[in-house]
Amino acid sequence: MRAAVNLRNANLMVTDGHGESMRSLARALVETADPHRLDLLMDAASRYPGFEGASARTRVLRPFRFGNRLLTQAFGGDPWYRARVPLARAWRAADVYLQSAHEPPPFASGPPHVAMVHDVAFMRPGAEAFFDAPTRNYLDRWTASSIHRADRLLAVSEWVRDEVVRIYGFPAERVDVAPHGVDGKRFRSDADPQAVSDALNRLGIQTPYVLFLGTLQPRKNLGTLARAYVEARRRGLAHTLVLAGVPGWRYADVAADLERMSGEGIQITGAVNAPDLPALLAGASAFVSVAIDEGFGMPVLEAMASGVPVVATDQGGLANAAGDAGIAVDPHNPDDIAEALLRVTSDDRLREDLRSRGLARAAEFTWTRTARRAWKSLEQACASS
């Protein structure tokens, strides 16, 4: 079987979970391709390593030199996805095609189509508080188009699968679940203490601290987390709350409140270079995320693989990722979150239990397993075409 995978967005120099997950999946697909063949479609030479193998090749499909703006105005979406990909020999020769569900599908029907759904937050109740109308409409339009074009879907969590079936009416029997993995070589529980100390010095972070890692935007529920932290601090928490990540959609909606609270123990680092991420996680006393309607949540697994106790939302993909290996909290209840922060930073027996369960949980999630599930979905799409 010959598979073509659209990696244009994953090849952009953008720090986000969508791009990182597609890159990690692509590398694992390369490693597990045999006896299949794999063509990785990009609009520029690969900016990241790990995409070449005996059965895999990157294929650079240059964008149209002229007319992109007119094509966009006429048809919407991105002309590279919709018009350029169907012109590629690798796409026409493919037995099956894989792309993110949140990107426009090609104009032509082509080979059997598998779309990977990372998120449905933009269609959940209350989404208008987290997304501006143009962004929400764009995501819904092209996600719906990709889903209804697809022969099969890959969902990154059971929660996303169930929501896709509910929202878009896609047949449940044609939705496969392929959870994200974690790179156990990067994120380890035996991190070098000196390397951790050096990285924290570069970032200007002093221990002890509780860490949130992710895109800084309202959907991450940072305002509620900040209020919970201030309450926990009032009740004796001595740790700093470190918010690490790049500003995302509508960050201005929460920026003023977060910056005002910086005098109350909250530290915002901004973007963190990839080499420093494992040390940043390893140095934390706990990891916390109370995001709303998260599709999955790779940082939860990365924290667990690093031996760091986790406090996570009790709903959505975060709950699927954490399972019973973290402290589950109501994301709308600051008192519940504050109590969890106090417990996880003060109860040594609880911390050790969470550490052990987290390590065992993280070991279940590998990118190789994700890739094998993806290959199975691709094979089923071919067989049913």
Mean pLDDT value across residues 29-37: 94
Between 64 and 239, residue with greater pLDDT:
239
Q: Does residue 63 register a pLDDT over 90?
A: no
Between 311 and 272, residue with greater pLDDT:
311
pTM of the model: 0.91
Angle at 91 between CA 53 and CA 94, to 5 degrees: 70
The phi and psi torsions of 70 (rounded to 5 degrees) equal -65, -40
Rounded distance, CA 375 to CA 373, Å?
Answer: 5
Rounded distance, CA 375 to CA 44, Å?
Answer: 25
CB 221 within 8 A of CB 258: no
pLDDT at 200: 96
Residues of the chain above pLDDT 90, percent = 71
Domains and CATH numbers, the chain: 2-181+366-384 (3.40.50.2000), 193-363 (3.40.50.2000)
154 to 104, 126, 141, 173, 176: CA distances (angstroms) = 16, 25, 18, 11, 5
Nearest CA among 94, 232, 183, 187 for reference residue 370: 183
pLDDT at 243: 94
Residues of the chain above pLDDT 70, percent = 98
pLDDT at 219: 86
pLDDT at 50: 85
The region of weakest confidence among 78-87, 164-173, 183-192, 314-323 is: 78-87
The region of weakest confidence among 206-220, 346-360, 362-376 is: 206-220
pLDDT at 267: 92
pLDDT tens digits for range 196-215: 999 999 999 999 999 999 98
pLDDT at 282: 97
Average predicted confidence (pLDDT) for the chain: 91
Q: Does residue 262 register a pLDDT over 80?
A: no
pLDDT at 346: 96
Confidence of residue 170 (pLDDT cuts 50, 70, 90): very high
